[in-house]
Amino acid sequence: MSLILSEIVTLRQHLNTLEHNPEVYCPNACIYCQEINIWRYGYYYRKPDRLNHGDESQNDIPIPRFQCVTCRRTFSTLPECIAPRRWYPWVIQQACIWLSLSGWSIQQIHRLFPTARSTLSRWICWFNEKFTQHQQVLCSRIPCMGYYSKLAPFWLYFFDSKPLSYAMILLHRSGLIVP
Ligand SMILES: [Zn+2]
């Protein structure tokens, strides 16, 4: 189980923050039992940099872990830019979803991004299937989103001013499981 630290929107920013200000990742209390005494518990590593390769790649990216002194369970804090359950960071998913909402076919998007067509289809299906749920939560947090009742206008308007990762933080905080 993970927490998500908002406003860390790039991998570079995450690495800098971890180096200079690592305490911001430590939660105030255990996410399972609310105990306030928590230990740092090393890191685990992820490979979210899907754009750069070889020496240019920023992988592997450390994700700080913590352990509760009372219940002994461990948990981690992800930066906003990394999706909890997907390989690709939110910024790439947003670009692909934006193109799809703007009328591009999966074939066309696939020519631009190295993402497998099945992965692109999965993202777009997920966006369609969850729309009502996502819309409900986001409208309760951002009232002006209530003007848009259809999928494409809703998200295109949202992406005009905010990233997909921010929407995912709001959904995560409301208790929805984000991929
Ligand atoms: Zn605990």
The pLDDT value given to residue 177: 86
Phi, psi of 28 (to 5 degrees): -75, -25
CA of 26 to the centre of ligand 1 (A): 14
Angstrom distance (rounded) from CA 40 to CA 158 = 36
CA of 90 to the centre of ligand 1 (A): 29
CA of 46 to the centre of ligand 1 (A): 24
CA of 64 to the centre of ligand 1 (A): 17
**pTM exceeds 0.75 for this model:** yes
The pLDDT value given to residue 87: 87
CA of 174 to the centre of ligand 1 (A): 21
| CA 163 to chain CA centroid, nearest Å | 10
The pLDDT value given to residue 117: 95
Average pLDDT for runs of 10 along the chain of length 179 = 90 96 95 95 93 89 97 96 91 95 96 91 95 96 93 96 95 90
* Phi-psi map region of 35: left, alpha, beta (phi>0 left; psi -120 to 50 alpha): beta
Angstrom distance (rounded) from CA 145 to CA 62 = 35
